[in-house]
């Protein structure tokens, strides 16, 4: 069928709104009519080549919409269901079966290869040129084909313009803390970078009972929001020695946990150095930058750990309803962080996200949707 999508044709290119052909759904696929999609920093990282995918491509991996068609092998999704889309996983490898679908053995084939695992394409240009899909959802489009494991059915009362954006950035921030770091009640944590991921990590630290929650950023406006959402201390890292300031807040010892969302080499170093003995750091940014450490002096002697956490180690079908519940209880007010744009304004929305003026842009794809 003919659809409309924001197409990206090359690294550093602008998005262009194009007509594309969407393939016929297979037995194990679901066709979703998109209502809205968040823009995640990882879309931008892919646009600028910090993470790779064959171009042309339709990006977007925080979609929400309404199910239009289900293949005969799809068991738990019905036409008319309202769904949030998250990442794809196979459901039957050892990691999926032990409750770690973010570590699915088929992750790259399903999420970042640009095609179905067999190499066929979900989207084609009108001249037949194959177009990559992304996270098996490509939510910057009016319609898409996805898989049952990408989908989280939500109550029809949930506002689909808002909840799609829970599918990646906010999920990552929440899960990095709740599933990755598992902080003990009363502990201390420093979050480097208070964008969507960092602020979600901060709210999760509060929910988890951390007593000292230090937000670090270079923009005062971001720090002000962090304060409203529960940071106990703010550090503007553009002024003074950040490690020293964090140690001063934590009796000279440093924090128990740190999360880096900036992906900047020097900031990642600071996130490691500002922890106390036995501290655990989760660097979660999608970055092409490295961290140069002396393993003996910076890890072994102080028994510190650095852990990789993908998609917050979250099972989306469990964590997204949980996030919606936290939101309804007033404990996860992510709606304060979003700004709505039309699909046609995607280039402006990406710029506003990259320059920090919008924390979480959401593209409205179906302007007729009413909650
Ligand atoms: N691991 C995963 O599974 C996963 C999933 C989603 C997103 N991500 C990645 O997480 C990262 C954060 O995403 P986001 O949407 O929150 O991005 P963002 O750009 O909104 O946030 C980054 C923040 O870092 C701040 N910052 C920049 N330089 C700084 C410095 N020197 N010191 C302190 N703060 C500084 C910025 O002001 C901004 O507030 C991105 O790299 C994104 O791609 C990872
Ligand atoms: Zn798997
Ligand atoms: Zn993302």
What is the mean predicted confidence (pLDDT) over 30-51? 94
169 CA → ligand 3 middle, Å: 5
pLDDT of residue 334: 96
pLDDT greater than 90 at residue 213: yes
What is the mean predicted confidence (pLDDT) over 16-42? 97
pLDDT of residue 321: 95
Neighbouring residues of 181: CB distance < 8 A, sequence distance ≥ 6: 189, 257, 259, 280, 282, 307
211 CA → ligand 3 middle, Å: 28
Q: What angle do CA 287, 143, 164 make, to 5 degrees?
A: 50
262 CA → ligand 1 middle, Å: 4
Q: 59-93: per-residue pLDDT in tens?
A: 999 999 999 999 999 999 999 999 999 999 999 99
pLDDT of residue 356: 84
Distance CA 13, CA 178 (A): 36
Residue 7 CA, chain-centre distance (Å), reads 20
Q: Would you say the CB of residue 198 lies under 6 angstroms from ligand 1?
A: yes
Nearest CA residue ID for atom 27, ligand 1:
262
Residue with tokens 């924090």: 255
pLDDT greater than 90 at residue 50: no
Q: Would you say the CB of residue 222 lies under 6 angstroms from ligand 1?
A: yes
With cut-offs at 50, 70 and 90, classify the pLDDT of residue 333. Answer: very high
In the chain, where are the structural domains located?
2-167+333-364, 171-311
Distance CA 352, CA 230 (A): 25
Q: 336-346: per-residue pLDDT in tens?
A: 999 999 999 99
Distance CA 274, CA 254 (A): 5
Number of helices (H), then strands (E), belonging to the chain: the values are 12, 17
Ligand 1 atom nearest the C-alpha of 354 is: 19
Q: What is the CATH number of domain 2-167+333-364?
A: 3.90.180.10
Secondary structure percentages of the chain, helix, strand, coil, to 5: 30, 25, 40
Distance CA 282, CA 271 (A): 9
Q: Would you say the CB of residue 214 lies under 6 angstroms from ligand 1?
A: no
pLDDT greater than 90 at residue 354: no
What is the mean predicted confidence (pLDDT) over 183-199? 97
Distance CA 284, CA 287 (A): 9
pLDDT greater than 90 at residue 51: no
pLDDT of residue 10: 95
CATH for 171-311, among 3.40.640.10, 2.60.120.260, 3.40.50.720, 1.20.120.330?
A: 3.40.50.720
pLDDT of residue 355: 86
Q: 237-255: per-residue pLDDT in tens?
A: 998 899 999 999 999 999 9
pLDDT of residue 224: 95
Ligand 1 atom nearest the C-alpha of 172 is: 5
Q: Would you say the CB of residue 45 lies under 6 angstroms from ligand 1?
A: yes
Q: Of 33-37, 207-211, 354-358, which gets the smallest average pLDDT?
A: 354-358
HEC assignment per residue over 242-290: HHHHHHHHCCCCCEEEEEECCCCHHHHHHHHHCEEEEEEEEECCCCCCC
Whether 102 contacts 314, CB under 8 Å: yes
pLDDT greater than 90 at residue 268: yes
pLDDT greater than 90 at residue 276: yes
Ligand 1 atom nearest the C-alpha of 169 is: 6
Q: Would you say the CB of residue 180 lies under 6 angstroms from ligand 1?
A: no
Distance CA 178, CA 314 (A): 9
Q: Would you say the CB of residue 267 lies under 6 angstroms from ligand 1?
A: yes
Q: 103-137: per-residue pLDDT in tens?
A: 999 999 999 999 999 999 999 999 999 999 999 99
Return the exposure string of 337-346: e unless at least 16 CB atoms fall within 10 Å of the residue's CB, then b. bbeebebebb
Q: Would you say the CB of residue 271 lies under 6 angstroms from ligand 1?
A: no
Q: Would you say the CB of residue 263 lies under 6 angstroms from ligand 1?
A: yes
Q: 198-211: per-residue pLDDT in tens?
A: 999 999 999 999 99
| Token output for 362 | 């959401």
Distance CA 173, CA 317 (A): 16
Q: What angle do CA 109, 115, 117 make, to 5 degrees?
A: 40
Q: Would you say the CB of residue 192 lies under 6 angstroms from ligand 1?
A: yes
Distance CA 88, CA 106 (A): 9
pLDDT greater than 90 at residue 169: yes
Judged on CB neighbours under 10 Å (0-12, 13-18, 19+), 38 is: buried
Ligand 1 atom nearest the C-alpha of 219 is: 37
């Amino acid at each position: 069928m003919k659809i409309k999508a924001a197409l990206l044709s090359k690294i550093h290119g602008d998005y262009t709104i194009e007509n594309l052909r969407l393939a016929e759904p297979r037995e194990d696929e679901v066709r979703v009519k998109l209502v809205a999609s968040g823009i995640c920093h990882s879309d931008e990282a892919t646009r600028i080549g910090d993470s790779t995918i064959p171009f042309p491509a339709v990006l977007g991996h925080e979609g929400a919409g309404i199910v239009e068609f289900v293949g005969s092998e799809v068991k738990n999704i019905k036409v008319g269901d309202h769904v949030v889309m998250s990442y794809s996983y196979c459901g039957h490898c050892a990691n999926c079966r032990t409750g770690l679908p973010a570590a699915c053995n088929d992750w790259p084939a399903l999420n970042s290869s640009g095609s179905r695992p067999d190499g066929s394409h979900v989207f084609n240009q009108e001249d037949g040129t194959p177009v990559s899909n992304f996270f098996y959802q490509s939510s910057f489009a009016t319609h898409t084909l996805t898989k049952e494991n990408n989908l989280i059915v939500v109550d029809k009362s949930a506002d689909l313009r808002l909840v799609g954006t829970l599918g990646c950035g906010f999920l990552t921030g929440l899960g990095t803390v709740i599933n990755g770091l598992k902080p003990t009640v009363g502990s201390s944590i420093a979050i480097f970078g208070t964008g969507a991921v960092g602020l979600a990590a901060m709210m999760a630290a509060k929910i988890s009972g951390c007593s000292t929650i230090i937000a670090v950023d270079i923009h005062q406006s971001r720090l002000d929001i962090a304060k409203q959402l529960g940071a106990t201390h703010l550090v503007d890292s553009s002024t003074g020695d950040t490690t020293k300031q964090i140690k001063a807040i934590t009796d000279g010892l440093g924090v128990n946990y740190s999360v880096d969302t900036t992906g900047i080499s020097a900031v990642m170093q600071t996130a490691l150095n500002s922890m106390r003995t036995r501290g655990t750091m989760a660097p979660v940014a999608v970055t092409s930058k490295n961290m140069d450490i002396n393993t003996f002096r910076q890890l072994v002697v102080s028994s510190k750990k650095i852990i990789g956490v993908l998609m917050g180690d979250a099972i989306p079908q469990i964590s997204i309803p949980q996030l919606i519940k936290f939101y309804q209880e007033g404990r996860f007010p992510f709606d304060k962080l979003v700004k709505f744009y039309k699909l046609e304004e995607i280039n402006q929305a990406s710029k506003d996200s990259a320059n920090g003026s919008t924390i979480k842009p959401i593209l409205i794809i179906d302007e007729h949707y009413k909650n």
